[in-house]
Structure formats: C-alpha cells, structure tokens
Amino acid sequence: MEHFILEQSETEIYTSHSGLALVGLCLNQYGKLNQALKSGIPLRHGIAHSDIIKSYMGTLCLGKSDFEAIENYRHDLYFKSSLSIKQVPSTARLRQRLDEQAEALLPIVYNSNIDFMVEAQVPVTPLKTGHVALDMDVYPMNNEKTRKEGISRTYKGYDGYAPIAAYLGNEGWCLTNELRVGKQHCQSEFQYTLERVIPAAKRLTDKPLLVRLDSGHDALDTRIWLSGDEQVDFIVKWNPRKQDVETWLAQAEQKGQWTSPREGKRVALFSVEEQQTRSDKTYRFRRVMQITERTTTASGQMLLIPDIEIEGWWTSLDQSHYDDAHIIALYRDHATAEQFHSEFKTDLDIERLPSGKFATNDLIMTLSAYSYNILRWIGLIGLLGDISPVRHPAKRRRIKTVMQELMYLAARVIRTGRRLKLRFSAACTGFKAFEATYAKLAAS
C-alpha cells in the first residue's frame, strides 16, 4: 500500500464545516437575536452576548454540546466569519457568561427562536383534518453519576432530567424544550407551559390546533383549559388507573362495534360521554374506548383466562365528523415525537448536559431547540428536492442527515479582496444542494 505524505499548510485555509455559513444566515438574517441581546442585557465591556450565544450555537449545530469544544474554533477564521462573530470566547468565558446571565438570556433566546420561524416563514403542514398537530411530551435524559443541580430519579428508573418539549406540524418544529427536574410529574406546572406554547403556535399558523398528549396529562384541569380555546382541539390518552375490565367488556358487548383482526382476538370500538364538575360548573367530554379481548396469543397459544385490555382517548372532536377509528389513527401519529426526542439527545448530543447549574442547562435546552429548528429548516430547503445528495424520498430529514450532508462539507477558504470565497471539490455531491440553500437564505 502506498503511504501518504502528511503536511499542514501555513498559508492555505480549509474548513470541514462549510454548513456554518447556512447557520450564520439563519441567525443573522432571520429573527431578532442580535438586537434583542444588545438591548435586553446591556454590556459595558467584554465579549458581546451575541458572540457568546452564536459561538455556542455554532458548536451545537455541529453536534458538540460540551463547552470545551469551543477551543477548536477560537482561532478559526471561517468559524468567526460565517457566524458574524468578532471574538470567539474561551471555554472558561463561555461557561462563566452562561452561568451569570442564564435567567436573563433564557426569555430572549426563547422569543428569538419563535421570531426566526415566523420571519423565515417556515412551512407548517397540517393534518388531513385541516388541524395542525401540536405534540407535547416529557422525555427522560440520563445524567447518572453526576452532581448536577436538579438531578433526581426519572420515571425510567435512572437519575437525570425530565424535560418537556412541544413540536408543531408534520415537520416537528420545536416551540419549547423546557428543562425539568427528573422526579417532576409531567402534569406539574403543565398549564404554564400551555400558556406559553399555544400563543407561539398561533404565530406560526392560523389553522386550528390539535393538541395531542399522553396519559400523564389525563387531568380535568387540562381538558377544561384546552376546551376554553375555540381554535384548539385535543386528543388526550386516557389513564384507566383502577378500572374494572369486566364492566368495560360488558359495555363493549352492548355498545361496541366488534372486529376480529385474527383468530383468537377481537376488538370493540365505541364512544362514551362523561360529565365532570369543577367549581360548580359541569363539563361534558367524549371518550373513545377500545376494548381488546385475546383468547390466544399471536403465535396461536391458547390462554386459560382471556386477556382483556382497555384503552381510551379523551377528545373534543365531534363524533359526527370523526368516528372512533379516526380518533385513534390521529393519536397514533403522536409517537413521531419520540424520534424528535432522540434527535436532541443523540444528534445534538445534549442528553448529558454540560453544566452543573440548573438555570444554565435550561438555557442550553432552549438554545438546542433554536439550533434544531435551524437545522430542520436547512434540511427542508436543501435535502428534499431533485438536487439533494440523499437518494431516498422523505418528507423531512433527520438532523444527523443534515449534518452529514450539508454541515460537514469540506471546502477551501479563499480571500478575494475584502471577501471570502468557499471553493468545493469537483467531486462534492452536496455542492448543488448547498448552493441552492445558501441562495435561498441569502435572498431573504
């Protein structure tokens, strides 16, 4: 085998992360991050808040969440130029500033994230019903063997955090990614989350919202709050708690429409209306019920005692327009949120958060939501058309795919007068997609 001669040039500049030019356009041409940071948190001296935030988001968009990763870019001309940064902070300065200003920075970054999506006019694809899906869910993050503030036992049985995220539309735009202590129940303080997320969703779409929640949010207060908004419908998984399965089976025999997917298994669907009272006011809610009776397993093994499973879904959708099977099918897509959770934890590498302070980690979760939306937008522009280097068709690209196909493109950085030029290899399959994405972002 022929060996290569390795050299390091002192005059030529190359970059392995050309995609930061796309991120820089999103940060500087959409939203009001720079202005909001400058006016919201006055600074007399030192590195600008915008340089701190954009530096960290630059590393996040490359899949690096640890503070130490910034050291690789402190003297990188392209990193600074692509993100419009005057000075890249050191690890110590980055950590210190985020710790000092976490509570003040959080609302600014949160609002800038929403402003970015509004000004970029990101597409929000509705369901076939005409509603726009708004999926909210808690997911655990494993931070075992650490002493970080807020670490406690999660429902998965390990120590960590239990943040709550909200995703809008079929694209999965992240409206919030709030950090919570591991032991906090998902329903605790949930109304405050709704009060922030619903107005944000309405800024991005004028279509009615369909809020989908799992059984952890099966609470009368939640249903009452959601019912008070005419533009909001909901499907909430019912928590059966201590229910008598035989009683429900008897109701299914009387009211249900039975089907038999296979021998030894039959399924009944029907709706019930329940009245519930709160503060001397009576509310009526529809609940779709599914009763499954199994007398044999899927492999054909006979059961001595029939296995009876009960499931239910609270909904505000009218039965005359949405039958029972339709409600269950609409809720089933709620599981897509699990993929979005995994993109945060693995693609953006934020499962094990870098700070020991809860407020700082909460800020990092919001910064990750902003970075996630930027990468999602870049992927929708550059990786779905005919010029995409990715071959298989898809409605959206995973964040990791965006990083691999656009963020990590290698190029030579050339100075021409007062401008910088990126020169890609003739064999670069992603050049056309990169060029088209850059042109679209720069034209706005």
Encode pLDDT of 127-177 as tens digits.
999 999 999 999 999 999 999 999 999 999 999 999 999 999 999 999 999
CB 315 within 8 A of CB 334: no
CB 171 within 8 A of CB 123: yes
Please give the radius of gyration of the chain, using alpha carbons only, rounded to the nearest integer: 25
Task: State phi, psi for 269 to the nearest 5 degrees.
Answer: -125, 135
Res. 14 pLDDT band, cuts 50 70 90: confident
Q: Over pLDDT 70: what percentage of the chain?
A: 100
**Sequence-ordered list of residues with C-beta below 8 angstroms from that of 90, at least 6 positions apart, any chain:** 70, 71, 74
User: What angle (nearest 5°) sits at the alpha carbon of residue 293, between those of residues 289 and 295?
Assistant: 175
> Quick one: residue 130, left, alpha or beta (phi over 0 = left, psi -120 to 50 = alpha)?
left
3-state secondary structure 390-444: CCCCCCCCCHHHHHHHHHCCCEEEEEECCEEEEECCCCCCCHHHHHHHHHHHHHC
Task: State phi, psi for 370 to the nearest 5 degrees.
Answer: -60, -45
The yes-or-no verdict on residue 227 having pLDDT over 90 is yes
The yes-or-no verdict on residue 271 having pLDDT over 80 is yes
The yes-or-no verdict on residue 386 having pLDDT over 90 is no
Tell me which residue has tokens 């001309």. Answer: 77
Q: Over pLDDT 90: what percentage of the chain?
A: 86
Alpha-carbon distance of 427 to 433, in angstroms, equals 13
Encode pLDDT of 188-220 as tens digits.
999 999 999 999 999 999 999 999 999 999 999
CATH class of domain segment(s) 132-345: alpha beta
* Amino acid 191: pLDDT: 94
Average pLDDT over residues 254-259: 93
* Amino acid 416: pLDDT: 81
The more confidently predicted of residues 237 and 8 is 237
Res. 282 pLDDT band, cuts 50 70 90: very high
* Amino acid 418: pLDDT: 80
Structure-token pair, residue 333:
């897509």
Alpha-carbon distance of 266 to 436, in angstroms, equals 53
Res. 297 pLDDT band, cuts 50 70 90: very high
The yes-or-no verdict on residue 111 having pLDDT over 80 is yes
The yes-or-no verdict on residue 391 having pLDDT over 80 is no
* Amino acid 242: pLDDT: 85
CB 314 within 8 A of CB 238: yes
Q: Tell me, what amino acid is at 247?
A: T
Alpha-carbon distance of 253 to 203, in angstroms, equals 46
Res. 236 pLDDT band, cuts 50 70 90: very high
Terminal-to-terminal C-alpha distance of the chain: 51
Average pLDDT over residues 264-268: 95
CB 235 within 8 A of CB 330: yes
Q: What average pLDDT does the structure give for the chain?
A: 94
Average pLDDT over residues 402-423: 90
* Amino acid 325: pLDDT: 95
- Look up the pTM and report it: 0.94
Q: Tell me, what amino acid is at 109?
A: V
The yes-or-no verdict on residue 444 having pLDDT over 80 is no
* Amino acid 284: pLDDT: 94
Q: Where are the domains of the chain?
A: 13-121+358-443, 132-345
